[in-house]
Amino acid sequence: MKKEELQEKSTEKLRSTLKGNKIVVGALVGILTFLLLITIYGLIVKEEKTTFIALLSVVFSCGAILPGQFNTIKKIKEELKTRENKS
């Protein structure tokens, strides 16, 4: 999200966006952690490892989304803090 886009939104809209982003990130972290644990278990225990290697690539590729989401959350928090200081 660009800085100009954040400045144009209302405070309530920013708060709801922040809450939604936190929920999505939390769910994604939980699901990826669970999938990673299953993948590690499968790589250690099972003989057929190709499925688990593919799942491992899914975990890493979906995990690449997280830094962008954390950055968006940080920018929204900064904008809300700036608005609180102006008031």
Note the pLDDT of residue 3. 73
Amino acid in position 2: K
User: To the nearest whole number, what is the mean pLDDT of the chain?
Assistant: 93
- 14 in Cβ contact with 6 (< 8 Å): yes
pLDDT in tens, 13-40: 999 999 999 999 999 999 999 999 999 9
Number of domains present in the structure of the chain = 1
Residue-number span of the structural domain to which 42 is assigned = 24-86
Is position 18 within any domain?
Answer: no
How many whole angstroms separate alpha carbon 48 and alpha carbon 24? 33
Is position 16 within any domain?
Answer: no
pLDDT of 66 > 90? The answer is yes
Is position 15 within any domain?
Answer: no
How many whole angstroms separate alpha carbon 5 and alpha carbon 7? 6
User: CA angle 22-14-27, nearest 5°?
Assistant: 15
